[in-house]
Amino acid sequence: MAHLFFSSYAHANNRCVYLKRFIEQLRLEISQLCTGIDLNEIGFFDVDGIQTGEDWIKRLSSVVCSCKVCVAICSPHFFESEFCGKEIAVFLKRLQMWQSLEGNADGTGKAIIPVLWIGGDISPALKEYQHIDGDFPNEYKALGLRELYQFTRHREKRKQVVVALAKRVREAAKTDLPPHEVIPHFDYIDSAFRSDRGGVRYGIAVVALLKNGINADCFGQGRLVRSEVDFACSDRIPWRFLELDNTLEHRLRASRENREAIVVLVDLEIIRDSLYGNLIAAVDRNAGCQIVFLAVRGRGSFDSTDMDGAAEIALDSHFPSIFRGALYRDWQSIRSQADLRRILAESIHNLRNTLIEVDPIRKVVDHKTTAMALAEGVPTERQPLLSGPTGIGN
């Protein structure tokens, strides 16, 4: 069953009860505009579109490759989500496919309808798709749709927004994007939101130097590394993978400058493989000291009974700069999923805490708040001092 639109959103935003209400109202409004289409086929929302026990990756891939329009629920969490960026990338690829068809080269096909769920800057990847014009109330542009749902006084304004968005979805569906020829494996799709800036301060950047990339089947389970990093960080810590391509050195430097914690997972087997020499050297040159090593014991790795000792010698030999200067190091061998989960959680916690402890105290000045305080006669000579993200100040 091909849906008219696919709703792409960050799961952190789904905790808000208003998101599902908005999707339901958008479906209903579109059903009033489109004839001959069942209400259940209008919009895909993975909360109610994927059944218990279903292979959700396969199902999600199928839907992203066949839906006519992507409704992107834009928020800070959305643009930090690697998975959301991959969903957008698939729709952009399908739009390129449409533009390559005969007669469409000069066309202005539409594939993505951004929804300003929380007001703020929008990713450059979606700038040209932004629809904010006279059909939308000023409150939507300033506050975002989520806030319009929070207060009953905005009932008519949010109705206006939903109607305008429904019209845009209907219009965009006329582009009739071709389906993606091959159901993509999301782990091998670059996020559309990748940029040259570093990640979130004190967030986690993962470099996976594994024999088969981030899906290394070291323990007989695919996607193990990605799922366990996600579990360790939960929704509290922003995280991302750094692609092993020609941008790796630049991204490592950007992560270091922005005080993003860098976790390097190393399959000890690749250290003996000359094909990985350039990647190993790039990491050693650019990762700095805010780093932790986790040594993965893959099939055919060191046969030494002293696995941890062998790992230390190998890492010190191949990563001399960062191994000796790392703020926090852990070269425990990882032999099972339980090991990986435990060690990842411990290492991420310890590395972030170490980064926060060594960061200097920064003076924080909020000029807007200061002006308001002065207008009210409140003294502002003493400014708060914050250390890292903990909010500890004087």
pLDDT tens digits for 92-151?
Answer: 888 888 888 877 766 677 889 999 998 777 777 787 777 677 889 989 988 899 999 999
In this structure, is residue 184 part of a structural domain?
A: no
In this structure, is residue 378 part of a structural domain?
A: yes
370 and 346 within one domain: no
pLDDT, residue 304, reads 45
pLDDT, residue 184, reads 54
**Burial class of residue 10 in the structure, from the number of CB atoms within 10 Å of its CB (0-12 exposed, 13-18 middle, 19+ buried):** buried
Distance CA 53, CA 59 (A): 11
335 and 240 within one domain: yes
pLDDT, residue 155, reads 93
> What mean pLDDT is predicted for residues 161-169?
94
126 and 251 within one domain: no
In this structure, is residue 226 part of a structural domain?
A: yes
In this structure, is residue 180 part of a structural domain?
A: no
290 and 164 within one domain: no
326 and 210 within one domain: yes
283 and 201 within one domain: yes
Q: How many folded domains does the chain comprise?
A: 3
Where a domain ends, among 140, 173, 206? Answer: 173
- Is the entire prediction scored with pTM above 0.85? no
pLDDT, residue 264, reads 84
232 and 166 within one domain: no
In this structure, is residue 78 part of a structural domain?
A: yes
> What mean pLDDT is predicted for residues 351-357?
83
Give residue 373's domain range: 363-394
What is the pLDDT confidence band of residue 270, given thresholds at 50, 70 and 90? confident
245 and 154 within one domain: no
CATH number of the CATH domain containing 65: 3.40.50.10140
In this structure, is residue 129 part of a structural domain?
A: yes
153 and 19 within one domain: yes
DSSP assigned state of 392: B
What is the pLDDT confidence band of residue 387, given thresholds at 50, 70 and 90? low
> Tens digit of pLDDT for each residue in 44-89?
887 554 444 445 566 677 788 889 999 999 998 888 887 888 889 8
Distance CA 150, CA 162 (A): 15
What is the pLDDT confidence band of residue 5, given thresholds at 50, 70 and 90? very high
In this structure, is residue 185 part of a structural domain?
A: no
DSSP states of 187-201: GGS--TT--SS---T
244 and 123 within one domain: no
In this structure, is residue 191 part of a structural domain?
A: no
CATH number of the CATH domain containing 240: 3.40.50.360
pLDDT higher than threshold 90 for residue 223: no
Best CA proximity match to 183, nearest among 271, 71, 279, 63: 63
pLDDT higher than threshold 90 for residue 262: no
202 and 162 within one domain: no
The 10 Å Cβ neighbour count of residue 381 is: 4
User: Contact at 8 Å (CB) between 393 and 385?
Assistant: yes
Residue 256 in 3-state DSSP?
Answer: helix
345 and 382 within one domain: no
pLDDT higher than threshold 80 for residue 13: yes
